[in-house]
Amino acid sequence: MASSKSVVLAAMFANAAIAVLKFGGFLLTGSPAMLSETYHSISDTGNQVFLLIGLRYGERERTRAHPFGYGKAQFFYSFLVSVLLFGIAGWESAKHGYDALIHHETAALAGTVTVFGYTFPAVWVNYAILLGSIAFEGYAWRKAFFGMRADIRRHSWGGFVEGFRKTSNVTTLTALTEDTVAISGLALALVGITLSRITGNEVFDAGAALLIGLLLMGFALALAWENQRLLLGESLPASEERTLTNLVENWRGVVDVVDFRTVYFGPDRIIVTADVAFDPELDTGEIDDTITRIERALQRANDSVRKVYIEPEA
């Protein structure tokens, strides 16, 4: 949990600083790509605030109304982030880029600006801001990358693609996704502004703004899809669930596992329920002792298992 919070805090402060720099660049040069990137960073900063709220809310103790705690709050706020990323940053960026293409808006990339008495080419402002933003985002991305990699190693997943599909640590996943999109968007803005500067054609700058918006919307939809699986109550991956099922099936005194189910009720928090047929020669006390040992074994086998409910079957 502490690792997830540090990842989000790093991203939030980086995005807040970058948003101010990008907006300053837009005011000085009028670049459509810089305005799109400003929308992007403002949205990302707000998103990090939502993720922190989710982390804080998810730490609340369980109540009668929420007997398994508030862990799913992180799934909800992460889903909300993906919607906002689509609705605010993606749509506004794409809309502004499209308008710039249609109306042939021209940035002041070929002119000069004066700041504190110094005069220099306007495009230098954007270059400095974009390169500085890449450095800030790179720092935040590195924190999220190592957080995600630790999760992958802990679960012995094959890589980031598998981790993206299976992880329940949606806070780190969302931060990594945002940072990856941010760096990609910065690269697009840098290329678009540079091409407009070299060719004198504003279409590259405006086109970069449109592509940034489309990139944001694409990643937001993918992130929303990944979050909905956990909101709807996803089980453990089949291979991990099968390992736990085999543990129960092979337990001495167990005749058959009639039903076995798992479900996430928070990041790395799993409930296991099982209907188990025991050897009919076992008395009630022996069955109770066996159930207790099985529950402890399941929790040792997977440290995400927090609750186990085993129902004896005739």
Quote the CA–CA distance of 87 and 182 in Å, as a whole number: 16
* In contact, 189 and 41? CB cutoff 8 Å: no
Quote the CA–CA distance of 247 and 129 in Å, as a whole number: 56
For the chain, what are the domain ranges? 2-231, 238-313
73-84 and 203-231 helices cross at what angle (nearest 10)? 160
User: Dihedral angle at the C-alpha atoms of 192, 47, 150, 237, nearest 10 degrees?
Assistant: -110
Q: What tens-digit pLDDT sequence spans the chain (314 residues)?
A: 455 677 778 778 878 888 888 888 888 777 777 887 888 788 778 878 888 888 887 778 888 777 777 888 888 888 887 787 767 778 888 887 888 788 765 555 556 666 667 777 767 878 888 888 888 888 878 888 888 888 888 878 888 888 888 788 877 887 788 788 888 988 998 898 888 888 878 888 888 888 988 888 888 888 888 788 888 888 888 888 999 999 999 999 999 999 999 999 888 889 999 999 999 988 889 999 999 999 999 999 998 899 999 999 86
What superfamily would CATH give domain 238-313? Cation efflux protein, cytoplasmic domain (3.30.70.1350)
Quote the CA–CA distance of 171 and 242 in Å, as a whole number: 27
Give this prediction's pTM: 0.72
The highest-level CATH class for domain 2-231 is mainly alpha
